[in-house]
Structure 1
């Protein structure tokens, strides 16, 4: 009995990579762009696809480039992309790593995961960005969407782990969020909350004041009252020199 080949895989996190069976398939640049866009969207009209991938070309030229690129894609059964009138559909058997990341992140944000994470999905939430080195507008939009989703998932994961009495792992999630976006207050709140969950009040206060200084130097603003209320005695910050919030 012949072994069942693995499903085709499309890797868009980090560098583009298409795997058919056990082989990595090399594609021309337009083929990569086409599969990446379809892998992200799943279902797209020819007009939208051609206009997005070849925005500087006339509609006729863009559609011609799309037909040529489709013809050059690897043949297989099922085909990677099916045509249904003016609509193109990616094959449902294709495994796209971005979709796995999105499911994981949304599961954390919605708290649809198990009540106790045997292994918190830190690795899945701290991987590489979408299509490194690509600078097309549609890629930048998708990359920022994934970045924000990851940050929200890391914040939510830290909060969940604190509730589960696992502050050390919560700290890992919180610091991953801080490293990704150093001025993100919710990430710093998660760090302080993890310190407090461990009973390390002095470290919590020290981190709070370090964030206050950074926020003041970079943006000239103070942290939110929500952050201040986390701390014992509602520790204030007197070094702020920004204009917002002043009276008189």
Structure 2
């Protein structure tokens, strides 16, 4: 676990309705922390504390935090709280019973979660920063960490961002932004190569752009992948998309 600050992967403020915060915590693509616009270094225990509390997104009992992170009593937690408070005031609030994220802290993955849940209702003009949105949705949650408590949060983010990428691909395609639509679909496929819904999005985007050969190539690649890995063929909904197309001999 590195103590080197990483560049935050943030949604555009107009997509998240979150103002620029005095403290910015980055958990996507690696740990990073900025206070007042400047990088802040935390020791590993402080990083773990900040990440755990942020991902709960609510006040957490001190005993729960101590057990989840260190499997012991309050001593390690008290030390970590003191070090975090000294390095970055306002990052974490603590009472006698609970620990929570400071009210003026922005967290990239929480912004991404909020966006992912509302993407189907996001207005077209708010998708203007397509490249920045894709950068956020393509990032894994603390990929270099191996802590057991991260597993549920990591899977939650993975599922949310894959669904968001698929929805985003369709939104971009409907708006005529086919390049970003293809990129969104391919990013979803990169997140899970066997995810048929992501491949279906890619095929649909190619068809919406009028690229029938590209659509068939994408379909044939999926056929080979599913046959090799699972011994199955694409589902009926995917097959129906290309049923009217001629077979491309050299995908």
Taking a change above 3 Å as real, the CA distance of residues 214 and 63 of structure 1, as seen in their structure-2 partners, is: same
Structure 1 residues not aligned, in runs of 5+: 237-248
Q: Deviations over 1:158-178 (max 9, x none)?
A: 112222333332111111111
Residue 149 of structure 2 aligns to a residue in which SS?
helix
Residue 134 of structure 1 aligns to a residue in which SS?
coil
Separation of aligned partners in 1, 2:202 and 2:226 = 16
Partner of 2:3: none
Partner of 2:81: 70
Taking a change above 3 Å as real, the CA distance of residues 119 and 9 of structure 1, as seen in their structure-2 partners, is: closer
Verify the 8 A CA contact 1:14 1:131 in the aligned structure 2: yes
Which structure carries more helix by proportion?
A: 2
Residue 39 of structure 2 aligns to a residue in which SS?
strand
Residue 124 of structure 2 aligns to a residue in which SS?
coil
Partner of 2:231: 220
Partner of 1:39: 54
TM-score between the two structures when normalised by the length of structure 1:
0.81
Partner of 2:194: 183
Structure showing greater relative contact order (alpha-carbon pairs closer than 8 Å, 6 or more residues apart)? 2
Partner of 1:80: 91
Matched, 1:112 2:121: yes
TM-aligned CA deviation for residue 6 of structure 1:
6.0
Verify the 8 A CA contact 1:104 1:124 in the aligned structure 2: no
Structure (1 or 2) with the larger CA radius of gyration: 1
Matched, 1:158 2:169: yes
1:13 is matched with which residue: 11, 28, 35? 28
Matched, 1:168 2:179: yes
Structure 2 residues not aligned, in runs of 5+: 1-19
Kindly report the root-mean-square deviation, in angstroms, between the aligned alpha carbons of the 2 structures. Answer: 2.4
